[in-house]
Structure 1
């Protein structure tokens, strides 16, 4: 009873006779498959998707190129602007002369006025309603600053004169007073506009 299963299967296969296929059976089967199954147009679809893949790659490449171009251009522009600003700052430092540079005893007075002027300027908020007023005051301040620079240059050329020093201090006082007046006018404008709005609502 101890027979090998493999041997049993081999003997069984020999006993079973396979029917012979008719001639041309494979050809008839292929023809039947071609009739019943739809024909695939793979090459056309592949070409269509192939061009879409190329287009997608080109879009990505152009986008990356544009991004790199813009970032490179902005960094170059920033470098140029920074260089120009530093050059302008150096020229300003060379041309700006202050009372404290000439006479250290007036440094405290000048620092007080310049700090007050800068503090007042930093508190200004420009709106379309007050832009014209602020611009006119800024023009006056610019003229006073030019006069201040001219007086400093005069002191450097001719030496310290009590009258010139007094004019320089008066110039700083006048600039600060102008800023206080501007601030008061802006407050008044704001108050008037609030009253107009309340009057319109009532």
Structure 2
């Protein structure tokens, strides 16, 4: 079915048919009216949408710039405090692999801490574990100070990693104890 238009025009020469008087003028006026109608209908909505988009963009940029200034101020004060103290080394400062290990354990510890649900039944148990965690955290800080003062040694690095492992294991034990306590309470409730 596809035919070449050039061949069709050569085969059928144009006949001398003329358009009626004023046909072209009427067509142009209808065409102009249809284009004008479309513009007038869409312009108010387009203007409203553009104003809204600009307002959102300005608000976003303003919020980001204000929050960046606050973060810079906080960072400046912490940097000034750090200047007064000796620079502290952490596992992450020594190598990327040690940073991954430290991040893995710290993330696990934070997730476990965040998932704890404290109520009056388990508060004493959680407080006991939190004291142990606090002691381990103090030891970790002391090991970091030793790492900064003496420099990286295999014993210090292993002690830091072991400290993180022990803290995470302690939280897993706490979770298991809490589950046992919860199951015991459920069994007691079911018996009654």
Instruction: Calculate the TM-score normalised by the size of structure 1.
Output: 0.51
SS state of the match for residue 126, structure 1? coil
2:160 matched residue in structure 1: 168
Contact 2:89/2:147, CA 8 A, preserved across alignment: no
Q: Which residue of 1 aligns with 2:116?
A: 124
Which consecutive residues of structure 1, in runs of 5 or more, have no partner in the other structure? 1-85
Equivalent of residue 136 in structure 1, options 128, 143, 162: 128
Query: Normalising by the residue count of structure 2, what TM-score does the alignment of the two structures yield?
Result: 0.54
Query: Does the C-alpha gap of structure 1 residues 159 and 189 become closer, same or farther in structure 2, counting only changes over 3 Å?
Result: same
1:157 equivalent in alignment to 2:146: no
The residue aligned with 1:197 is 189
Q: Give 2:9's aligned residue.
A: none
2:137 to 132, 139, 145: 145
Q: 1:108-119 alignment to 2 at 5 Å?
A: 108-119=100-111
Rg larger for:
1
1:98–1:149 Cα contact (<8 Å) kept: no
| Residue ranges of structure 2 left out of the alignment (5+ in a row) | 1-73
Alpha-carbon RMSD = 2.3
Output the CA distance in 2 between the equivalents of 1:124 and 1:175.
15
